[in-house]
Structure 1
Amino acid sequence: MSVLFVVPYPVGKAASQRFRVEQLLPLLQEQSIKYKVAPFWSEEAWGILYEQGHWAQKLNRLLIGCFKRLLLLLQLPRYSYIFIHREATPVGPPWFEWMAAKVFRKKIIFDFDDAIWLPSTTTNNNKAAKYKWHSKTESICRWSYKVSCGNKFLQSFANRHNKATVFLPTVIDTQHQHNQLKQQYTEEVNIGWTGSHSTLPYLKLIEPVLQRLEQRYDFNFIVIADKAPDLQLKSLRYVPWQQKTEINDLLQFNIGIMPLPDTTWAKGKCAFKALQYMALGIPAVVSAVGANLQAVPDGVAGYVCHTEQEWYNRLEQLLLDAGLRAEIGKAGRQHVQQCYSLQVYRQIFTELFSY
């Protein structure tokens, strides 16, 4: 058996791809299943993809990526399965997926962890939004042998187009990577958030709460991201995201937050930030939206907040009580180990490649 992984980004760059594809590849190696990973964007393209401007370079890299996909079609006969994470090409119709399913008659496993059938783009690339062809998600679901969905909301969408769906959350390797427990009795107390440029705007939802807390308590608010946030906070500390220091950077947090707006797009989010926090023994305080409601046991492994006042009360409570942070953090790690770990879902992943 051999599997072709058709992915958007260079290896090791994007969280979604790292945790939904790349960290699972050793499971195939254990079963002597051969595979190849085929990114659309090169590392050079990744360096400018989410920067303003560079339109000529971006167009050039886009054309190169499409040409590589054309050449990849010639290799399809040698693979038993074609695993497509999110989409084969970032713009235009799903021609690659159609060719793979209808012409080459390949078994497609389609995997997604966002509500990618909805329009959503960054301000730096809003010119490309009209070419995204969001409706192709429905078609790819229909043509697929199986559809792997990051949460139940996404699965309900996929089920309307294909009954062969599998719930596969974005899991955490609690043995080899997220394998430490935060020491909560620290001199400084840090509230933290991690994410990318696309979710940075959600921090505006929590900015007023943090400003109120700053007036009464001493703490740092740490943001780990690929871009500095635009927040009016005296407590703010920005840490550029680096894969090699990711775990140590997260372990600076005493409390981890995941604010979300109550929108259809946000309901497609898979609570991954919260899972990362909890896996490291960091209490998660999250918005009561989408997968957060299932991922974070309220009052046990973290807190689920419906209002701004609830956010304030829960963060205040955790800021003042190291013992509570330690208790909730320990429960959170146990919860992830039992319900969202790589070890729990390894069989479900490998069974995607079964007849």
Structure 2
Amino acid sequence: MKILFLSKYNRDGASSRYRFYNYRPYFDKNNIEYYFKPLLDDKYILNLYNNNKKSVAVQRFSSVLKRFYFLIFQYSKYDLIVIEKELFPNMPYIVEKLLLRGKKYVLDFDDYIATSYKLNPLKRVFFKNKIDKLARGAKFVTVGNHWYFNEIKSDNLIYLPTVINLENYPKVKQEYRTSKITIVWIGSFSTGKYLQIVVPTLQKLSQKYAVKLKVIGVDIAIEEVDVELVDWKESTESDELLSSDIGIMPLEDTMWENGKCGFKLVQYMACGLPVIASAAPANKEIIDDGKNGFIINSQNEWYDAFEKLILNASLREQFGKSGRQKIENKYSYQVWGDRYSNFLGEIE
């Protein structure tokens, strides 16, 4: 079987890397012949991160044209197409239906792109049911959390969490006692806005306790809070997390956040960190509240959760070790690599 992966990004894009590219060793192991054809190249990611809007717009347009050409003239030799989210953002269902006619395809979601289609009044007219229709035509749809099972109107969904390679997290935190607590957040410019949710709490904590906020991947300054800025690098990611004490994932409460997969938590917990996170669906699946972290249901709960972990090194250690065990059991490629390969290989 020859499988074509139509990813959104190349390996530089985190969603494409973790949902597609990192499965390559397992595809090789299971004799799956695979090819990757990203919609957007590495220059796009660079321009996006540098907020180069003109270049981003030009690249989006040219990328759409290139994918159109490829789908019409070059992809007939593949037996199965695996699509990251959709073929083309903001394009009507009928276009994708025609391009996919007679083809076996699979969809994958770790973000709920239908959010804008359903909530934007103008887009709702043209795209409201696009994702549901695409899903019903797919052989199956892999989704990053169980919330999708009630949201996407299709009966062929398969749960596939976003996971880590345990070999990239060989070290686990050993020393939990420290004179200054480092709270860590990792992300990109598009998710940096969520840190504003905990700013008041961090400012209040800083007045009473020796705490520091380590921010990986985003340039941000917070008054009255000791902030350490760290550039994201794949090679140093786990070490930066290991040198921290508490991992956080604040989120807003909207349809978009409901579709997220809680991957930050997986990374923190793989390093043996206790975690605190907003009560988004994926977060509640990953965290066992009171066992490896705390789920926050209101703004006032952030301070209490932080204080419990700041004051109790033994609790941090207990939560951290429990979290690492859960990641080993449920959120690694070592668990899901062969499973996903089998899902794909069994399609007739």
The two structures have a TM-score, normalised by structure 1, of: 0.89
Residues in 2 aligned to 1:50 and 1:98: alpha-carbon distance in whole angstroms: 32
Residue among 104, 109, 112 paired with 2:109? 112
User: Does 1:259 find its partner at 2:250?
Assistant: yes
User: Does 1:143 find its partner at 2:134?
Assistant: no
User: Does 1:190 find its partner at 2:182?
Assistant: yes
- Give the corresponding residue for 1:332: 323
Query: Which deviates further from its counterpart, 338-347 or 289-298?
Result: 338-347
Residues in 2 aligned to 1:301 and 1:43: alpha-carbon distance in whole angstroms: 36
- Give the corresponding residue for 2:268: 277
Residues in 2 aligned to 1:207 and 1:157: alpha-carbon distance in whole angstroms: 32
Cα 1:141–1:312 change in 2 (3 A) is: same
8 A contact 1:7–1:87 mirrored in 2: no
Shift of 1:94: 4.8
Counterparts of residues 113-262 of structure 1 (less than 5 Å): 113-119=110-116, 135-158=129-152, 160=153, 162-174=154-166, 176-183=167-174, 184-225=176-217, 227-262=218-253
Residues in 1 aligned to 2:184 and 2:172: alpha-carbon distance in whole angstroms: 16
Residues in 2 aligned to 1:245 and 1:266: alpha-carbon distance in whole angstroms: 27
Cα 1:50–1:155 change in 2 (3 A) is: farther
Cα 1:59–1:215 change in 2 (3 A) is: closer
Residues in 1 aligned to 2:251 and 2:61: alpha-carbon distance in whole angstroms: 35
Shift of 1:346: 2.6
Deviations 1:132-166 (A, max 9, x none): 957532232122111001111123222x1x21110
User: Does 1:64 find its partner at 2:62?
Assistant: yes
Cα 1:210–1:177 change in 2 (3 A) is: same
Q: CA RMSD in A?
A: 2.3
Residues in 2 aligned to 1:215 and 1:338: alpha-carbon distance in whole angstroms: 39
Q: What secondary structure sits across from 1:350 in the alignment?
A: helix
Unaligned runs of 5+ in 2: 118-122
Deviations 1:168-202 (A, max 9, x none): 1112222x112321132344320011112222111
Residues in 2 aligned to 1:164 and 1:236: alpha-carbon distance in whole angstroms: 45
- Give the corresponding residue for 1:125: none
Shift of 1:96: 6.6
Residues in 2 aligned to 1:271 and 1:54: alpha-carbon distance in whole angstroms: 28
Shift of 1:213: 0.4
The count of residues paired between Structure 1 and Structure 2 equals 340
Residues in 1 aligned to 2:183 and 2:81: alpha-carbon distance in whole angstroms: 41
| Equivalent AA in structure 2 for residue 271 of structure 1 | G
Shift of 1:33: 1.2
Identity of aligned residues (%): 33
8 A contact 2:10–2:41 mirrored in 1: yes
- Give the corresponding residue for 1:123: none
8 A contact 2:182–2:213 mirrored in 1: yes
- Give the corresponding residue for 1:21: 20
The two structures have a TM-score, normalised by structure 2, of: 0.90
8 A contact 1:101–1:144 mirrored in 2: no
